[in-house]
């Protein structure tokens, strides 16, 4: 994972990606990470409502 560029961490609902982001920041010192709030489900609802979800 790059430490030089912004990185978005995502999961289905945003909870697991938030936990992963916290661990990466606390344990490895990342400062360039962003959680996709609400996960892919929230992104789908706003930008791709017809996208199939698994």
54 within a domain of the structure (yes/no): no
pTM: 0.83
**Catalytic positions, please?**
11
Please state, in angstroms and rounded to a whole number, the distance separating the CA atoms of residues 36 and 9.
Answer: 6
18 within a domain of the structure (yes/no): yes
Instruction: Give backbone dihedrals phi and psi of 17, rounded to 5 degrees, phi first.
Output: -65, -35
Range of the structural domain that residue 18 is part of:
7-47
Going by pLDDT thresholds of 50, 70 and 90, the confidence category of residue 53 is confident
Please state, in angstroms and rounded to a whole number, the distance separating the CA atoms of residues 38 and 8.
Answer: 13
**SS3 for 47?**
helix
Instruction: Give backbone dihedrals phi and psi of 34, rounded to 5 degrees, phi first.
Output: -135, 135
Q: Mind listing the pLDDT tens digit for each residue in 7-49?
A: 999 999 999 999 999 999 999 999 999 999 999 999 999 999 9
Report the domain count for the chain: 1
33 within a domain of the structure (yes/no): yes
53 within a domain of the structure (yes/no): no
1 within a domain of the structure (yes/no): no
**Phi-psi domain of 29 (left: phi exceeds 0; alpha: psi -120 through 50; beta: other):** left
């Amino acid at each position: 994972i790059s430490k030089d560029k912004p990185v978005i961490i995502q999961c289905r609902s945003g909870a697991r990606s938030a936990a992963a982001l916290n661990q990466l920041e606390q344990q490895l010192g990342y400062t360039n990470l962003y959680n996709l709030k609400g996960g892919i489900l929230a992104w789908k609802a706003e930008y791709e409502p017809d996208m199939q979800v698994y």
